[in-house]
Amino acid sequence: MTRSKVRGYHGIDIGGTKIELVAFHDDEHGLHEVHRERIATPGTDFAEFVQAMQQLVERADARLAMSAAVGIGLPGIVDKLSGRQLSSNVPALNGRAVASALQDALQRPLVIGNDCQCFALSEADGGAAHALPSMFGAILGTGAGGGYCVNGRLLRGANGIAGEWGHWPLPAAMLQQYQLPLLPCACGRSGCLERYVSGPGMSQLHRHLSGEDAVPLAIVAQAAAGSVLAQQTMALHLDLLAHALATLVITLDPHAIVLGGGLSQMPHLYQQLPGAIRRHLFNGVSVPPILPPAYGDAGGARGAALLARQLYP
């Protein structure tokens, strides 16, 4: 008789204002949530941040009655050579070797993934794209990021940045066609897709066309009320996004694309994107299903725990 071994994982989602830990037991049926805690993010003091993380994990260990492996989802990019965090939305972490400091403090298997990659993994394993051979999770929120999963596993790539589609450049042909400005990006380059297709990007497109400031939901409401300028913004945003996703289909050919982030709540994307993507593809290529997320932003900690399980089975 074999006895199933109970394992546990802590998934931690680090945001600009809050840190959420979800602790899971793991058995042959998958992850079961057993504990959840949210704390305010210590935003400016790195030592305070590390101490808060240590205490958060120790409390979760007590609930699981084990020292569990930790997966962390964190926005921003890690410099592969120095291990230092770049462009985080938590000022205390910028320029810090976050992984090694937490490794020293927590003394256990630990992995840090991009928050968008954790979102994708959560949707690939038990989420909207569960059991599909491959999927791409595309976040459209304050930025545009994503992750690519094959057979329920995240492909991170050599630098750990696989899926960073938001920093593809917008094609010159589209800049020219729509007479768009070449916008600088926080990554140091210019003309990145993120600046045009994210939530703030949609507002930027509207400002460009109308001279008016509006958040995406207001633009959608104005378009529904008959504003021609708002309708033009939505059509432009849809076409830029569709071109990007068509490029994604040609590159990775995922079996589904799951949308995440604030713009994933816009119903017109699910209705209109498939046709708009098709216009940028050649004949004989099927557009994969464009799916709403099952977990969405709430899956960040779950995805981080799944990433830990993927690395430390």
Q: Which residue's CB is nearer to Zn ion, number 77 or number 223?
A: 77
25 is a site residue for Zn ion (CB under 5 A): no
Sketch the per residue contact string, 64 through 103, with Zn ion: x for CB under 5 A, - otherwise.
----------------------------------------
Least Å distance, CB 76 to Zn ion, is 12
Chosen residue from 155, 174, 185, 281 binding Zn ion by CB under 5 A: 185
167 is a site residue for Zn ion (CB under 5 A): yes
161 is a site residue for Zn ion (CB under 5 A): no
Least Å distance, CB 91 to Zn ion, is 20
Kindly report the three-state secondary structure assignment for every residue of 101-134.
Answer: HHHHHHCCCEEEEEHHHHHHHHHHCCCCCCCCCE
Least Å distance, CB 113 to Zn ion, is 19
**Total residues at the site for Zn ion (CB under 5 A)?**
4
150 is a site residue for Zn ion (CB under 5 A): no
Q: Which residue's CB is nearer to Zn ion, number 187 or number 229?
A: 187
Least Å distance, CB 146 to Zn ion, is 14
Residue in 240, 246, 239 with CA at minimum distance from that of residue 281: 246
Least Å distance, CB 168 to Zn ion, is 9
Angle separating helix axes 228-252 and 216-224, nearest 10 degrees: 120
196 is a site residue for Zn ion (CB under 5 A): no
243 is a site residue for Zn ion (CB under 5 A): no
Q: Which residue's CB is nearer to Zn ion, number 201 or number 299?
A: 201
> Considering only 97-105, 136-144, 185-193, 240-248, which stretch makes contact with Zn ion by CB under 5 A?
185-193
Type of residue found at 82: S
Least Å distance, CB 245 to Zn ion, is 18
192 is a site residue for Zn ion (CB under 5 A): yes
235 is a site residue for Zn ion (CB under 5 A): no
Q: Which residue's CB is nearer to Zn ion, number 92 or number 193?
A: 193
Q: Which residue's CB is nearer to Zn ion, number 167 or number 302?
A: 167
Least Å distance, CB 205 to Zn ion, is 17
105 is a site residue for Zn ion (CB under 5 A): no
Chosen residue from 187, 217, 294, 298 binding Zn ion by CB under 5 A: 187
Output the DSSP codes for the chain.
Answer: ---PPPEEEEEEEE-SSEEEEEEEEEETTEEEEEEEEEEE---S-HHHHHHHHHHHHHHHHHHHTS--EEEEEESSEE-TTT--EES-SSGGGTTS-HHHHHHHHH-S-EEEEEHHHHHHHHHHSSSTTTT-SEEEEEEESSSEEEEEEETTEEE--SSS-TT-GGGSBPPHHHHHHTT----B-TTS-BSBTHHHHSHHHHHHHHHHHHS----HHHHHHHHHTT-HHHHHHHHHHHHHHHHHHHHHHHHH--S-EEEESGGGG-HHHHHHHHHHHHTTS-TTPPPPPEE--SSGGGGHHHHHHHHHHHH--
Backbone angles phi, psi at 18, to 5 degrees: -140, 155
Q: Which residue's CB is nearer to Zn ion, number 155 or number 185?
A: 185
Least Å distance, CB 279 to Zn ion, is 26
- Residue ranges in contact with Zn ion by CB under 5 A: 167, 185, 187, 192
